[in-house]
């Protein structure tokens, strides 16, 4: 059986520091990232691609807010905005990957799936919504929005204003995972669980959208387990995970056991909002029966001995 790999694109695969986020910039970034998938595809790997959407969904929320303020248009909820960005980012990845494969004379079907991900409405994250989304507001406007919409706001640490905080619940299920596996194992490259998936919960047998942001690495990891992937890979902006990062005694991690990296995580070696979520997603994959979980940068993908490999 051919190897099946789930690859989660990090934020820099789409938008890089200092860029404005134009379509030309994003398409070029995606094109360059997709070039690094070619060696795996040439080896016959079946691929499933997940991706983030943080800056993009933030821009969509800003657009909705501006439309509401200027034209009185109805603002749409976060699950709707995640669906929008799943479609638009999936389109970019699919288009640029097709261009890359054509350059190398490779024929593969590619499909983007707009994907819901089930969470628990009673998840503790909903009692403490801390994930920042949307525009910055002055204090008076933030208080007004909080009263009118029952939203929670937090002051930005850099004093740029107040931003809405939403929950980031743990993903529990991906309703169409069987379709993803079937497509992937017949050679189709599948782009799915974008931005962690569209958040939803089950109410009386019906799926209902909910305002939340799901961690894209945890969602990709869950999918990798469900489709019995051989590898789960997170692409970041560094080639390896480090302990004592930018401190005395800095050490690069190569092949490590899940026990060892779990210990480093518990010791606070990895920054929240940066490497810590990546490590947690890899631990989840391995502890749930997965084989190799890899954290590296796109340029190192598939090279012997590259990246941090987390083993059972």
DSSP 33-52: HHHTTHHHHHTT-EEEEEE-
**Angular region, 288: left φ>0, alpha ψ -120 to 50, beta rest:** alpha
Please give the Cα distance from 46 to 131 (Å, whole number): 33
What pLDDT, on a 0 to 100 scale, did the predictor assign at position 78? Answer: 95
Q: Given this model, what pLDDT does residue 17 score?
A: 80
Residue with more model confidence, 91 or 133: 91
Structural contact between residues 235 and 10, judged by C-beta atoms closer than 8 angstroms: yes
Separation CA 7–CA 48 (nearest Å): 6
pLDDT in tens, 35-63: 999 999 999 999 999 999 988 998 898 89
Q: What is the arithmetic mean of pLDDT over 1-19? A: 88
Provide the pairing of β-strand 116-118 with 131-137. unpaired
**Phi-psi region at 18: left, alpha or beta (left = phi > 0; alpha = psi -120 to 50):** left
* Tens-place pLDDT, residues 66-82: 999 999 999 999 999 99
Q: What is the architecture, at CATH level 2, of domain 4-118+171-311?
A: 3-Layer(aba) Sandwich (3.40)
Q: Is the pLDDT of residue 203 over 90?
A: yes
- Please state the rounded mean pLDDT for residues 253-265: 98
Residues 101-159: tens digit of each pLDDT? 999 999 999 999 999 999 999 999 999 998 888 888 999 999 999 999 899 999 998 89
Structure-derived torsion over alpha carbons of residues 298, 301, 307, 310, reported in degrees to the nearest 10:
110
Map residue 150 onto helix, strand or coil: coil
- Half-sphere exposure at residue 252, Cβ-oriented, CA atoms within 13 angstroms: 10
Percent of the chain with pLDDT over 70: 100
Confidence at residue 1, expressed as pLDDT on a 0 to 100 scale? 63
Confidence of residue 273 (pLDDT cuts 50, 70, 90): confident
The pLDDT-based confidence of 239 (bands split at 50, 70, 90) is very high
Quick check: 188 and 108 in contact, CB under 8 A? yes
Choose among 291, 97, 286: nearest CA to 190.
Answer: 97
| pLDDT reading at 165 higher than 80 | yes
Whole-number average pLDDT of the chain: 94
Which pLDDT band, with edges at 50, 70 and 90, does 7 fall under? Answer: very high
Asked if residue 137 lies in contact with residue 163, where contact means CB atoms within 8 angstroms, the answer is: yes
How big is the CA angle at 8 (ends 300 and 250), to the nearest 5 degrees? Answer: 50
What are the domain boundaries of the chain?
4-118+171-311, 129-166
Residues 196 and 213: beta-carbon distance below 8 Å: yes
The whole-model pTM stands at 0.94
119 within 8 A of 171, measured Cβ to Cβ: yes
Spatial separation of the C-alpha atoms in residues 58 and 303, rounded to whole Å: 34
Per-residue pLDDT at 310: 98
Helix (H, G, I), strand (E, B) or coil at 47: strand
Terminal alpha carbon distance of the chain: 21
């Amino acid at each position: 059986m051919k190897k099946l790999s789930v690859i989660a694109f990090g934020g820099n695969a789409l938008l890089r520091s200092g860029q404005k986020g134009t379509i030309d910039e994003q398409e070029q970034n995606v094109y360059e990232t997709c070039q690094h998938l070619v060696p795996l595809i040439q080896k016959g790997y079946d691929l499933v691609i997940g991706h983030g959407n943080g800056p993009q969904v933030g821009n969509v929320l800003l657009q909705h807010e501006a439309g509401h303020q200027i034209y009185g248009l109805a603002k749409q909820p976060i699950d709707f905005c995640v669906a929008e960005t799943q479609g638009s980012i999936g389109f970019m990845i699919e288009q640029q990957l097709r261009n890359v494969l054509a350059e190398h004379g490779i024929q593969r079907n590619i499909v983007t799936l707009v994907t819901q991900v089930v969470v628990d409405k009673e998840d503790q994250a909903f009692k403490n919504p801390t994930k920042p989304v949307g525009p910055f507001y002055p204090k008076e406007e933030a208080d007004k929005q909080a009263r009118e919409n029952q939203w929670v706001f937090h002051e930005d640490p850099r004093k740029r204003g107040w931003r809405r905080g939403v929950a980031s619940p743990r993903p529990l299920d991906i309703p169409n995972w069987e379709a993803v596996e079937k497509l992937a194992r017949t050679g189709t490259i599948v782009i799915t669980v974008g931005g962690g998936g569209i958040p939803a919960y089950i109410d009386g047998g019906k799926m209902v959208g909910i305002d939340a942001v799901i961690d894209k690495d945890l969602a990709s990891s869950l999918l990798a387990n469900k489709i019995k992937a051989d590898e789960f890979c997170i692409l970041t902006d560094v080639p390896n995970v480090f302990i004592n990062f930018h401190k005395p005694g800095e050490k690069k991690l190569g092949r490590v056991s899940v026990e060892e990296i779990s210990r480093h995580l518990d010791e606070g070696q990895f920054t929240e909002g940066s490497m810590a979520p990546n490590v947690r997603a890899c631990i989840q994959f391995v502890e749930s029966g997965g084989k190799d979980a890899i954290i590296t940068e796109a340029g190192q993908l598939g090279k012997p001995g590259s990246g941090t490999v987390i083993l059972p």
